[in-house]
A and B are shown apart, each in its own frame.
Chain A
Amino acid sequence: MIIENSPTILSVQGLRASINGTEILKGIDLTVKSGEIHAIMGLNGSGKSTFSKVLAGHPSYEVTGGTIQFEGKNLLELPPEERARAGLFLAFQYPIEIPGVANTQFLRLAYNTVQAQRGKEELDPLEFDDFVREKMKLLEMKPDFLDRSVNEGFSGGEKKRNEILQMALLEPKLSVLDETDSGLDIDALKIVANGVNRLTNKDNATILVTHYQRLLDYIVPDFVHVMQAGRIVMTGGKELALELETRGYDWITANKQQDAGVSA
């Protein structure tokens, strides 16, 4: 929801980043305020997944220019774990499998680490069990989910639900969902979207990074941004997603070229 005079959570200005010497992000500007849901759309290779990884602090990417302010802090100075503790959450496109570690053990470790940082009480295994089972209902997850190794042998849908469960536990200020809809059938998509919708409120914000409009039928964005060649080239309301669905991305490229022609 767009709320008048609501505080800015994320402010990105002129962000440039490269990997192995190749520049992927070429000057991104984006402001996200409390309560808002933003969708970032674009074709493969447009840089949208890179943008989400740079936000979370992936060490393979080098930030070569620009600034990121997160709740008034200079995000670029913080290592990934401190970004997470400060309230930034990235739901991975491809969540990592960790055989040998029970999901419940991992979830409790992450939860308690973040709680401790926020000066809140940590939970022992029994207390945590009650707490996490309540959260699991939100995503219609089976209890055996807790005893299995982290993401090992999970279906695509189960992995994505596990990501959203972590979001529910960590209660981030800003959630970045990277291609959370990829690999989901329609039922799983509805469950995941429903979970996200119940977690969004006026005090937090969400960035949905997606290739397709489909997810936005269930999580309705306030803003839709189109990324191309490492920049946001167009911003609109939710109707922009529908337009992209019917017209594709080419007309934006054409418009951009026209703009470039005019300004030259």
Chain B
Amino acid sequence: MSEVTGTNYLECLLKSWQAKPIESLSWLNQLRAQAIDRVSTQKLPTKRDEEWRFTDISPLTTLPYRPSQPDVNLRIQDIQHLFLDEVKNRLVFVDGYYSLQLSAVANPALVIGNLPALLSTHASILESHLGQYARFDQNVFTALSTAFLRDGAVIIAPRNTVIADPIHVIFIATQHEVTSYPRCLLIGESGSQITLIEDYVALQEAAYITNAVTEVSLAGNARAQHIRIQRESTQAFHFANCAVALAHASHYQSVSITQGARISRHNLDVRLTDEAAECTIDGLTLISGHQLADTHTCIDHSKPNGTSHQQHKCIADDTAHAVFNGKIIVRPHAQRTNSSQSSRNLLLSKTAQVDTKPQLEIFADDVKCAHGATVGQLDPEEIFYLRSRGLSEKAARNLLTYAFGAEIINRIPVISLKQQLAQTVLEQTQSN
């Protein structure tokens, strides 16, 4: 049943695609045409697909979710509360469309802007990166995003340049029953350093679909810190595909916070394509009510001497359902890989649910791979310790729950954002 309606949803989107204007660049037209071809041969996934067996997305077929339209009514004071002190460069997208007046671009050392603007000045670098990492042949959401590709955030950290202030890209949802396609491309040229904050927010409770695609490419010795905050409306659907390619001795650190959306799916694929690349990937899912949050990560070691560390935590309350699938591939040539993965999950109610699945596929023999997963309630010894210091049982539980989430929040390298999120965690973990 859901497959039939799912096809209808796709058909609707396909019809609206025909009407889109053609770009002047042939490679981009080609990319979009390839993507739309892929969409027409695919179906929306159902629980019968192994990769989606915990996540039923059939509810999204119950509303039309037409493509979003440009909306210029938002004023800076409506979104000022989202701004961060440390940020000098900010790109704001409203329902997937770039807003010049809400954005601020200040750093001349950096190439930053939206896709149409940079297509005229940086076409060749965009051609070699855009759509090259987030593959759409197996993924209907990435295919849709690429088929509808017309706007997006582009950030290029030039060779040997250190960008000290973090870049804030805000994707704001304002419209009901629409689908928007936020897109983000970060290119770190060799020896560069940059911090990117990707922020998905809603200004009101509404049902809509966000289909986001982010691509990150780090050249040799480049470093990037990537913070991703998903705080969509709790009625929204959020699908995100983030693909990261790491060249020789590059270094990628990411912290992903998932707290919004009724149903969300975050795929993070990191490929260590050359020797001695390093990544640290941390995640926190903090959900309640009827929320479902599914995180699938894949770290793919294909060359020797790579390092990856991952810690993913979920806190689920009420009847919320968190899913974590963490795949780590160590290919035959990836000798001396050092990899660790930990999945820790805290259930705050008897009806909350967590499904966690570490998935190690190791084909090299000289590797160090550690992994572990736990699901549970708070440790009674920890509660007793705090009570023996005078804290009530409730205060002890609240503090330990907060701490469980704060451990990940503390890894965010932007202080004001860290404090803001710590406050959110505090509010969401304090029972009365």
Contacts and interface: CB of A to CB of B under 8 A. Distances in A.
B163 interface: no
Contacts of A19: none
Nearest to A96: B385
Nearest to A53: B384
B388 A90 contact: yes
A72 interface: no
Interface residues of A, number: 29
A109 B392 CA distance: 11
B380 A60 contact: yes
What are the nearest 10 A-B pairs in CB distance? A100-B403, A100-B406, A100-B407, A110-B389, A80-B387, A96-B385, A84-B390, A113-B390, A101-B403, A114-B390
Contacts of A95: 385
B381 interface: yes
B99 interface: no
B395 interface: yes
B399 A166 contact: no
Interface in A95-113: 95-96, 98-101, 106, 109-110, 113
Interface of A: 56-60, 79-81, 83-85, 89-90, 92, 95-96, 98-101, 106, 109-110, 113-114, 117, 149, 166, 170
A99 B388 contact: no
Contacts of B361: none
B contact residues, range: 20 to 34
Among A57, A89, A101, A170, find the residue whose CB has the most chain B CB atoms closer than 10 A.
A101
Among B387, B390, B404, find the residue whose CB has the most chain A CB atoms closer than 10 A.
B390
B388 A80 contact: yes
Contacts of B203: none
B407 A59 contact: no
Nearest to A169: B389
Contacts, number: 73
B410 interface: yes
A121 to B, nearest CB: 16
B391 A81 contact: yes
A166 B400 contact: no
Contacts of B392: 81
A81 B390 contact: yes
Interface in B358-403: 379-382, 384-393, 395, 399-400, 402-403
A117 B391 CA distance: 11
Contacts of A81: 387-388, 390-393
Contact of A110 (B384, B390, B406, B407): B390
5 contacts: A83-B388, A110-B389, A114-B389, A117-B390, A166-B389
Contact of B387 (A84, A89, A99, A101): A84
A81 B384 CA distance: 9
Nearest to B387: A80
A98 B380 CA distance: 13
Contact of B406 (A56, A60, A101, A113): A101
A84 B388 contact: yes
A95 B403 CA distance: 16
